[in-house]
Structures are given as structure tokens and as C-alpha cells.
Amino acid sequence: MIGRLAFLWPEIALFAATCVVMVMGLSRSFSVRKASAWVCGIGLIVAAFLAATTTPGAPGAPAPDAAHGQLILPWMVPFAKSMICLVALLLLPLLAGTVDRAEEARIASSRAGFNPLRSNRAEFYSFFLFSITGLLLVASADNLIWLFLALELTSLPTYIMVAISSSRHRSQEAAVKYFFLGAMGAAIFLYGFALLYGAYGTTNMNAIAALMRGGTLSTLAMAGLMLSLLGLCFKIAAVPMHFYTADVYQGASAGVAAMLAFVPKTAGFLAILLMVGMVGWNYGPSGASLPDSLRLLLWVIAALTMTVGNVLAILQSSAKRTLAYSSIAHSGYMLVGVIAGPGDGSFTQNGISAVLFYLLAYGVTNVGTFAALACVERPSADGSEPRELDSFDDLRGLCRTHPAAGWMMVICSLSLLGLPPLLGFFGKLPLFTSGVAAGEIPLVIVLGLNSAIAAFYYLRLMAYPLLEEPGVRSGELVANPFLARRLAGILSAGGVISLAVFANAIMKQTTVAGKYPAAAVASTKAEPSLTAAEQR
């Protein structure tokens, strides 16, 4: 049994950490409470380590087999899990001080005692870890049920995190929208899963993949796939499920927004890769693309997503909303990699590797932009919660008034823009190469043009802190007392620069991770019931 669980060591480690955090967060001792975040961090480090060493497919670990999760993209799992843990590690300091700040201040000044009922710390960090755990589970999901549960595990905690991320109405509003629309999205992909099950009589994804490749795709299966993908579009904030994005990001605190831009998106992309991977990129005239209908669907979604995200982003006056829309656009970019597929398996042609690399690049870069917003705040007059930066006006002259925050914004937005030689460029380049290699040149052109549209608002994000004079109200801005946030931003900005130089190591990893064993799945033994169904 332990052997069967071996590939879940990272999740187990995280779960253990979650339990500890839940308890520690309710401690009466401030230092113990405070240490809960550290435990989180340690849990993530351990999970990352375990993911990199024990996950099947990782170097030194056993090769992936049907007993240890999906075989659709088995090599992706160790990379995805360690990458997720590392980005989560980067997100963690950004979340510092999101909840309980006023409360802790009151306790510190002895105006109030610790009241577990009023403290959100334990929930907050444990939800964070839960969400990450769910995300890790998505990566190795080999069953639609598992996938569904993992996705829900990823999402549900985030609803709460949004709601408690600040005490203002906005975050509640954001939570409402996020939760209700999320439920709707979940229902859609759930229905899609149901149809898939209906079509193949099994929820085992390896088996479905084998069946899909064994015969033609029935309309029912195709409908199921499409519904699933469309439902998953909610997770990655792609058209047509993108509506909530800006409102939720704006309503949530910057740290939580950063998390939303990474965690559900990664979950969505991993799930989409698995779903699409079941079908395989063996169709089309060249025998190396998705089936027409699927390709068309993803093509339209990709093109619309990047366009809608970008054109809406350029209209915004709120930096956070801009970043939210840009996050939509980035999903569109990444879909190009999904469409491109594994190509011949080399990094240049492998869209899966490109997506994985991009997820990492986007995750790292994204932290920096939100960190810039989270590092500085405007104290409110009435003693209520200070407001994080939101509008572009707040960003004016940030490089002069708060250099660290300003520069992380500058560097990270340029990276998001895809300006060489920053990490974002090397994220986008494989998308270009794999797209071109897959013959999706029009889509690559759309991608290029969209990058250009995006330049408009990224330039603003870069120019306001760097080039504008501090505004009249800039003097009111004070640095956020939680240095960890700044650390997160600095790490992110540093990563954006240094990872560009040493990107090759990651690229090698993603090359491996993106391996798509077209033949491996076919040999998987189908479940007996499946055989029975077939015999009918």
C-alpha cells in the first residue's frame, strides 16, 4: 500500500504541513502563530524535494507505470510538481500579512487578546497548502474522478482565500463571483467528464486514451471532451469563461491575486494537457495535430483569449485589473503550445514543454508584478485596513519613492511583455517555435500581434514607476511592513533575470517533462468492465 502511495509523497508532505499549520495557526503564542508560515515553507520545500526525487519519472525514481498515476504525460509529473512547489514557495512570502493584520496589531499592542474565532491565519495558510496539494494532485491524475476532485481541491480553498483576503466589500464581491461562476464552470466540466465516461465506460484516463487512439472519436466523446475543455477554461481564465477574472483579481488582495493567477491556471493547464493528451496529436494531414474539431475549438479559444485579454487590458486604469486581463492573455498564449503538441519531442518543437516552461516563467514573473502592488500601501484615514496599490496613478514614480517595488514592477512587466533578454521572452520563444513547427503560423502571428498590443499596457506598467514623476498623492504611500512581500518580489525579479541566463537547465527539464509517449498508453491494460462494454 505504501508502495502505491509512493508517488504521492509530496502531497502527503504538504498535507502533513497543512495539519501542523492548522494547529499552529491557532496557537496563543504569537511566535508559534508566526511560525506557521515557516512551516508552510518547510512543507513546500520538502514537497518540492520529494517531488523531484520520488515521483515516478524523476531521476532516481522508478519509471512511471499505470499504478502510479497517469501515463498520458507521465514525465510531466515530477517537473510540474517541483515547479509548483517552488513557485508556491515564492508566493508564500507574498501572502504574508494578508489576514489577521489588524487583529495581530491589536494583540501586539495588548488591546485585545488572541481569539481563535477571530483569527483566520490557520485557515488561510492551510487553505493555501490545500490548494497547492490539489494542484499537485492534478498533475498525476489518472482518473477523471481524481481529476475532478483534485481540481475542486485546488479551487475550493481559493474561494475562501479570496473572501478573507481583505476586510473590504470588494473581496467579498470577488469571492461571490468567483465561487458561483466557479461552481458553474465546475458543473460544465463535470458534465463533460460524465459524457466521456458515457462514451468509454471508464473514468481511467489511461484507458480512455488507449480507446481514443484505438478507434474513432465518437460524437459523444467529442462533446464530452469539449465540455470538459470549456469548463477547464474557467480555471485558466480563457474565453468564454474569463469574465470573472478581472473582478476577482481586483477584489482579492494582491498576494491572493498572484496566487489566483498561478494556481488555478496551472491546474487548468495541466488538466487540459491531460485531456488533450488523451486524444493525442496524431490527426490532421500531417498526422501531428489534434483532431480538426478540437484544434478548431482550441484555436478559436486561444485567439479570442489572447485578444480579449489584451484589448481589455489596455483600457484599464487599475493596475491590478490590467494584470488580471493580461493573465487572460497569457492563457491564450499558452494554448498555442497546447495546440502545437509534442512535435518531435525536442524542446523547440514541443508545445507541451513550452507550456510547462511558460507556466514556470509566468508564475515567477507574475509574483513580481503583484508583489510590487503588495509591497506598498496607502494607509487609510479611518484606521481601517490600508489599501494596497491598485490604480496606475499609485504607481507613479514608484522607482524613486519605493525603489524595490518600482523596479520589480518594471522588470517583471517587461518580462511579461516578452522583452528579451528577460525570462518572459524565453517563455514565449518556445511557443513561437513550437507553433511554427506545428504549422500554426497564423496563430503565431496572432500571438505576435497580441504581444504587440500587450506592449501598450506593459509599457504603462513599466513607465509609470520608472519614468513618471511621483504623483501628488505618492507621498502618502508607505512601505508595507511585511518585508517578506518585498523578498518575494525581489526573488521574482531576480529570477526573471537570472533564469533567463540559466534557462537551459530548466529547458532540459521541460524537454523531458514534455515527452509524450504516444505508444506507451496503448499497451495499458483496460479495465475488465471496459472490455465488457466493448463486447456488447
Partner 1 sequence: MQNAATPISAAAAGFQIQDWWLVLLMAVPLAFSFIIAFGAPHRARATALFGTLVAAALTTVVLFQFNWGNGAAFQFQNRIAWLPSLGISFSMGVDSVAMLLIALTGLLGPLCVLASWTAITDRVRTYYAWLLALQAAMVGVFIARDLILFYICFEFTLIPMYVLISLYGSTNRKRAATTFFLYTFTGSMIALAGLVYVAWVNAGLPKDAFEGAGTWTFDIAVLQQAAQGSLTMAQQSLVLLALMAGFAVKVPLFPVHTWLPLAHTEAPTAGSVILAGVLLKLGTYGIYRFALPFCTGAFIQYAPFLAVLCIIGILYGGLICWVQTDMKKLVAYSSVAHLGFCVLGLVALNTAGIQGSILYMINHGLSTGALFLCVGFMYERYHTRSMKEVGGLASKMPIWATFMVFFVMASVGLPGLNGFISEFLCIFGTFQASDTWGKGVWGSSGAPVPGATPGNLGPWYALIAGLGVIVAAMYLLIMVGKVVFGPLREPGAHGDAHGSHGESHDSPGHLPADLTAREITALMPLAIACLVFGLYPMPLFDALKGPVGETVAMVQDVRENGLNNGAAKTASVIDAREGTR
Partner 2 sequence: MTNLLSNFCLASAAPGAATLSPILLGPSEAQLILALPIIGLLFCTLCAIFRVKSKAPAFFTVACLAGAFALVVRLYLNKTGTPVITSGFEWFFLEWGDGKGQRLVANFSLYLDSLTILWMLFVTGLATLIALYASEYMAGDLGTGYCRFFAAFNLFVFSMSCLVMGDNLLLLFLGWEGVGLCSYLLIGYFYKKPSAVEAAKKAFIMNRIGDLGLLMGIGLTFVHFGSIEYRDIFHAAQPYIEAAKAGKYNEIPFLVQLIPVLLAIGAFGKSAQIPLYVWLPDAMEGPTPVSALIHAATMVTAGVYLVARMYPLFLLSEYALPLVAWVGALTALLAATIGMAQFDIKRIMAYSTVSQLGYMFAGLGGLSSTGAAFHVVTHAFFKALLFLACGAIMHGFAGQLDLRKLSGIRRLKGWGIVSFGMLVGCLNLSGFPFTSGFFSKDMLIGSEFLTPGMAPIGWILLFTAGLTAYYTFRVFFRVIVGPLHYEPGDELHSAHDEHGHGGENHNEHAHVQDDHQHHDHGHGGHFHPHAPGWAINTVLLTLSVLSLSASALNFLHLPNQPHIEGGIVPELVMESSAAYESPYARHEAHEGTGDGGHEGPDAHGTPSYVPTAIALDDPHAHAGTFLGWNPHAVMFYVSGAVGFIGIFVAFVLHYVGRTTAATAKADALLPMLGPIPGWAQHKWYVDEFYKYSIYWPLIILANLCNLFDKLIIDGIVRLFGAIPRWIGNTIRPTQSGELHGYAAGMAAGVAVLLFIVFILTLR
Partner 3 sequence: MTTEFTATLAQAGYPAAFQSITLAHYLFISGAMFSLGLIGFLTRRNLIIMFLCTELMFQAAGLALVAFSRFHMNMTGQSFVIFIVTVAAAEAAMALALVVLLFRRRESLDAEEWSELKG
Question: Could you say whether residue 173 binds partner 3 (CB under 8 A)?
Answer: yes
60-65 LR contacts (CB < 8 Å, sep 24+): none
Half-sphere exposure of 292 (CA within 13 A, CB side): 4
Q: How far apart are CA 148 and CA 154, in angstroms?
A: 10
Distance (Å, whole) CA 533 – CA 488: 53
Query: Which among 5-13, 225-233, 434-442, 527-535 is the span making contact with partner 2, rule CB under 8 A?
Result: 225-233
Nearer to partner 3 by Cβ, of 172 and 346: the residue is 172
- From 171-179, 253-261, 337-345, 376-384, give the range in contact with partner 3 by CB under 8 A: 171-179
Q: Does 296 bind partner 2 (CB under 8 A)?
A: yes
* Angle formed by the axes of helices 319-340 and 219-236, nearest 10°: 150
By CB under 8 A, tell whether 523 contacts partner 3: no
Instruction: Give the residue from 262, 214, 207 showing the smallest Cα distance to 235.
Output: 262
Q: Is 377 helix (H, G, I), strand (E, B) or coil?
A: strand
Candidate ranges 19-27, 94-102, 165-173, 404-412; the one touching partner 3 (CB under 8 A): 165-173
Contact criterion met (CB below 8 Å) for 255 and 262: no
AA identity, residue 526: A
Residue 5, binding choice from partner 1, partner 3, partner 2, none, Cβ under 5 to 8 Å by partner class: none
Binding site for partner 1 (CB under 8 A): 342, 344-349, 414, 419-421, 425-426, 429-430, 432-433, 436-437, 441, 444-445, 448-449, 451-452, 455-456, 459, 463, 466-467, 503-504, 507-508, 511, 515-516, 518
Tell me the closest approach of the beta carbon of residue 36 to partner 3, in angstroms: 22
Q: For residue 60, what are the CA distances in angstroms to 52, 63, 293, 448?
A: 9, 9, 40, 40
- Spell out, one character per residue from 260 to 299, where the chain touches partner 3: x when CB under 8 A holds, - when not: ----------------------------------------
Among partner 1, partner 3, partner 2, none, partner that 170 touches (CB below 5 to 8 angstroms by kind): partner 3
Shortest CB 502 distance to partner 3, Å: 40
What residues numbered 196-225 form the site for partner 3, per CB under 8 A? 197-198, 201-203
Residue 244 touching partner 2 (CB under 8 A)? yes
Distances (CA, A) of 120 to 95, 250, 256: 13, 21, 14
Rounded CA-CA distance 280/41 in Å is 37
The CB-side HSE value for 474 (13 A sphere, CA atoms) comes to 19
**Which position among 34, 101, 106, 177 is part of the footprint of partner 3 (CB under 8 A)?**
177
Spatial separation of the C-alpha atoms in residues 413 and 490, rounded to whole Å: 13
Whole-angstrom distance, CA of residue 289 vs CA of residue 302: 15
Distance of alpha carbon 103 from alpha carbon 162, whole angstroms: 18
User: Binds 23, which of partner 3, partner 1, partner 2, none (CB < 5 to 8 A, cut-off by type)?
Assistant: none
Closest contact distance (angstroms) between CB of 188 and partner 2 is 6
Among 188, 199, 493, 530, binds partner 2 (CB under 8 A): 188
Q: Which is nearer to partner 3, 53 or 172 (CB)?
A: 172
Residues facing 478 on adjacent strands:
377
- 68, 121, 170, 242: residue in contact with partner 3 (rule CB under 8 A): 170
CA 264 to chain centre: 5
User: Given the complex with partner 3, which of 175 and 335 has the nearer CB atom?
Assistant: 175
Output 232 or 340, the one with its CB closest to partner 1: 340
d(CA 233, CA 298): 10
Query: Rule CB under 8 A: is residue 312 a binding residue for partner 2?
Result: yes
Report the sign of the C-alpha dihedral through residues 425, 326, 177, 143, in that order. Answer: negative
Binding site for partner 2 (CB under 8 A): 176-177, 180-181, 184-185, 188, 219, 222-223, 226-227, 230, 234, 239-241, 243-244, 246-247, 292-293, 296-297, 300-301, 307-308, 310-312, 314-315, 453, 456
